[in-house]
Structure 1
Amino acid sequence: MEPDDKELLTTLFHAAIEAADPENALRANLPSEPRGRTVVIGAGKGAAQLAAAFERLWHGPLEGVVVTRYGYAVPCERIRVLEAAHPVPDAAGLEATNALFEAVRDLTEDDLVVALMCGGGSALLPSPPGPLTLEDEAMLNEALLSSGAPISVMNAIRKQASRIKGGRLAAACHPAKVVTLVVSDVPGDDPAQVASGPTIPDTADRAQARALVKAWGIALPVRVAAWLKGNDGLAPLPSDPVFSGNEVRVIASASLSLEAAAARAASLGVPAVILSDSIEGEARDVARVHAGITREVVARGRPFARPTVILSGGETTVTIKGGGKGGRNTEFLLSLALAAEGIGFSAIAADTDGIDGSEDNAGAFADGQSMARLRRVGRDPSALLADNDAWTAFHHLGDLFVPGPTGTNVNDFRAILIR
């Protein structure tokens, strides 16, 4: 890949991140100060950055607790920042969940709760109901993550096996007003899906959750499957009066970030097109569709003329069948580079929170010659893809993208540059 191409693609990624900057996103969405207390709660990979920005912007007294992923904390003066495990929950997450409930105890109708919610909150807030244990919830998360199901399906099931998700935390805040400020990392920007909606009730019920488990062939832990067959601890519905007067605002999203990246590309002399901000599906299959579009542009100048940058967002999934390392964005790129091998393109795919999968990279770079270079170092691209080992592929190429934690999370960012 030409250095100029890698620099341009990196610039577009950072333009997308800047559009979701916590302080900029919060400034235009601050609620009015209450007569009573202001309590800030929150969860997600960017929750600490949101909390720090809220402290800088809020003029009145405040208190509260937010939980973020290990290594993602930033200093706050008045809001406690707790860390827990992601993507599989741990005991620290259970303690953080209890701290959130404690923070909203004994509130009155004069008080205000500001909930700062962003992607990653589902795993960070374990709270197994009834006879279920933390181990059960961890096993549930592992089963969901390896199933290949879209985030909406995973969240519908998670909400039925929790004491905090699906609006239950907001119900605990009653009679205080709850204003939820959401940085959306889900396709379609449904705020009830972000972090499995601790402060936002959903219409999905337990019967629907069971149907989704069957439809996607998800192997649930035995005790979780038994719990879903019962009617204990049902999630509250949006019509419940405890939610009356609450507000929900999406303050940053993939759509806004892709538009910012497109504008930055145009300012650098390269027209950009946005395919969609809500693409879902198996990462390798989505990549083959992107490869087909890339081939068509290169060969026939349609549906877009060259030069162009093709942008897309959303959240792909990976059905884990091998034992390799990687994430959905590196797997997307490996499949893209195989399907568009020999074609003149350069691409980046990265998670906007700075971490793709289990390693420290956000994603990677690829071009039409990546697979040939990989073979020259003695690695078989097809075998690596079959083993879900995209991280190893791009590690050998020296093309991993490692920006570090970004402080926000608006899902996947993909850009394909065709000169």
Structure 2
Amino acid sequence: MSASERTSDVRALLDSSYRAALQAVAPARLLAPFLTGPRPDFVLAFGKAALPMLRAALDTYRGVPGLAVPPRGTPDLSAPGGTDVWPGSHPIPDEHSARAAEQALARVRALPQGAQLLVLVSGGGSALLSAPWGVTLAQKQTLTGELLRAGADIGEINVIRKHLSQVKGGRLAQATRAQVRALIISDVIGDDPSVIASGPTVPDPSSFAEALSLLDRYGLSAPEARAHLTAGVRGDLAETPKAGELTHTQNTIIGSNRVLLEAAQAFLAARGVRSVILGDTFAGEACDLAGFHASLVQSVRSYGTPFQGPLVLLSGGEATVTVRGDGQGGRNQEFALWLLQALGERGVYALSAGSDGIDGNSEAAGAFLTPDSHARAQTLGLNPREFLTRNDSGRFFAALGDALITGPSGHNLNDYRALWVES
């Protein structure tokens, strides 16, 4: 087999492992075992998987009215009759997100005592369902953008969001007299339901004081937000509901990054390929994660430790990127470019991609690496370090022909990394 044929085969294997894993844990499949119990009187779905989750639920509960809040730009916005679809914006909320939240609040507030409310939650819900409190929508947009650029992780961003919102941090559930059953697909490390989509149906352990301290940590002025949070610290505003307060609500995690990685492992095993799941809780800067993975690749190659090759190393979680440039890309392509930089001429077969099909501000879901990526980049005059300085990994991999383009997946289960390593 020629080098080009081998590259094509391994790249296709990694690509197929990603797509097959997403198909195996499609929202409808994750949801099906949990569609039991009382028939709901209303179904509210929001997040990147809102529409596939709602369609699956209404296949079981035909005729139940519903409201879906998917990302604007979702290719297929069709929904069963009796369902309203109000697309919102992600990752920065906009006026569509605010209108969607108004609709959701109006519908759940109108439900009588004893009614059954089914809430279907998936990643991205924080931005898609946005009801600003104490700040204007424009001010919240600006603050969210500043937090993302400063490198705040999703948990930290959500602490602030919860205390500037009428729906997050358990306030959505607090707004209804109905019995609430929430089925949740996790897109956060650790699968804490109070963090996923900022926990609209979950008691909130965070506080106004914690939110205010995060603004200090990242050096953000945000005067209007500060004034609101300070009023909360003084006790002038009601805190988010705490443990024991939402007794009419049940929250269940039905899918996570771990499930995605296990599906990929099963796919590879069926093809006779050994794989190891390194973990689903990797966090931190993409450059640091890439450095760790590069060290592991080198150890397997040189010493056969801690694993004997050939095998595929699988990992998940969610990297972060402190943005200092004005380029295109996202955390998965940034990880891949740092991995290329770390390994240099002795490269590796790898795929790093977001399970939602969108990586940052690029059109790609992620990027591939091959052992000759460094040599091909040199031939084209592409300097990885220069692209990293600009946070321009998207343009680097597009020029190299190694961007993974899938379009929105209608799902969100964190990051997917697969590295083929031989001893």
TM-score computed with the length of structure 2 as normaliser: 0.94
1:143 is aligned to: 146
Contact 2:317 2:414 in 1 (8 A): yes
Which consecutive unaligned segments of at least 5 residues does structure 2 have?
Answer: none
Q: State the partner residue of 2:158.
A: 155
CA 1:414 to 1:152, structure 2 compared with 1: closer, same or farther past 3 Å? same
1:310-349 superposed matches below 5 A: 310-349=313-352
Residue number in structure 1 paired with 2:125: 121
- Unmatched segments (≥5 aa) in structure 1: none
Paired residue for 1:406? 409
| TM-superposition CA deviations, 1:130-187 (whole Å, max 9, x none) | 3x101111011101111112211111111111111101111112x2111111110000
1:4 aligns with 2:12: no
Q: 1:95 is matched with which residue? A: 99
Q: Tell me whether 1:20 sits opposite 2:25 in the alignment.
A: yes
Alpha-carbon distance change, 235 to 47 in structure 1, aligned in 2, over 3 angstroms:
farther
Where does 1:18-417 land on structure 2 (aligned, <5 Å)? 18-34=23-39, 38-59=41-62, 61-72=63-74, 73-77=76-80, 78-130=82-134, 132-173=135-176, 175-215=177-217, 217-231=218-232, 232-239=236-243, 241=245, 243-417=246-420
The alpha carbon displacement at 1:233 in A equals 4.0
Structure 2 counterpart SS, 1:200: coil
Q: Offset of 1:235 from its aligned partner?
A: 3.7
CA distance, structure 1, for counterparts of residue 194 and residue 293 of structure 2: 29
CA contact (8 A) 2:330 2:359 kept: yes
Instruction: Report the alpha carbon displacement of residue 57 of structure 1 after superposing the two structures with TM.
Output: 2.3
Counterpart CA distance in 1 for 2:322 and 2:148 is 8
Shift of 1:66: 1.6
Task: Between 111-120 and 363-372, report the one with greater CA deviation.
Answer: 363-372
Structure with the higher strand share, 1 or 2: 1
Task: Tell whether the 8 Å contact from 2:340 to 2:347 is kept in structure 1 after alignment.
Answer: no
TM normalised by structure 1 equals 0.95
Question: Does the aligned pair in 2 maintain the 1:41–1:114 contact within 8 Å?
Answer: yes
**CA RMSD in angstroms, aligned pairs only:** 1.5
State the alpha-carbon separation in 1 of the partners of residues 67 and 306 from structure 2: 49
Preserved contact between residue 41 and residue 66 of structure 1 (Cα < 8 Å)? yes
Residue aligned with 1:156, SS: helix
* Contact 2:172-2:200 at 8 Å conserved across structures: yes
In 1, Cα distance between equivalents of 2:252 and 2:407: 27
Deviations 1:68-102 (A, max 9, x none): 11122431113212112211111111111101011
Q: CA deviation at 1:327?
A: 0.4
Contact in 2 for aligned 1:344/1:418 (Cα 8 Å): no
Q: Is the 8 A contact 2:201 2:249 kept in 1?
A: no
Do 2:155 and 2:195's aligned partners in 1 also have CA atoms closer than 8 Å? yes
Query: Equivalents in 1 of 2:179, 2:363: separation in Å?
Result: 38
**Structure-2 change in CA distance of 1:235 and 1:15 (3 Å):** farther
In the aligned structure 2, how far is the partner of 1:404 from the partner of 1:364?
A: 13
Please report how far the alpha carbon of residue 48 of structure 1 lies from its aligned counterpart in structure 2 after TM superposition: 1.2
Q: Number of residues paired by the alignment?
A: 412
- Give the distance between the partners of 1:50 and 1:220, measured in 2 at CA: 39
In structure 2, C-alpha distance between the alignment counterparts of 1:375 and 1:222, rounded to whole Å: 47
1:17–1:235 CA distance, 2 compared to 1 (3 A): farther
Instruction: Check whether the contact 1:326–1:357 (CA below 8 A) recurs between aligned residues.
Output: yes
Identity over aligned residues, as a percent? 38
CA contact (8 A) 2:68 2:86 kept: yes
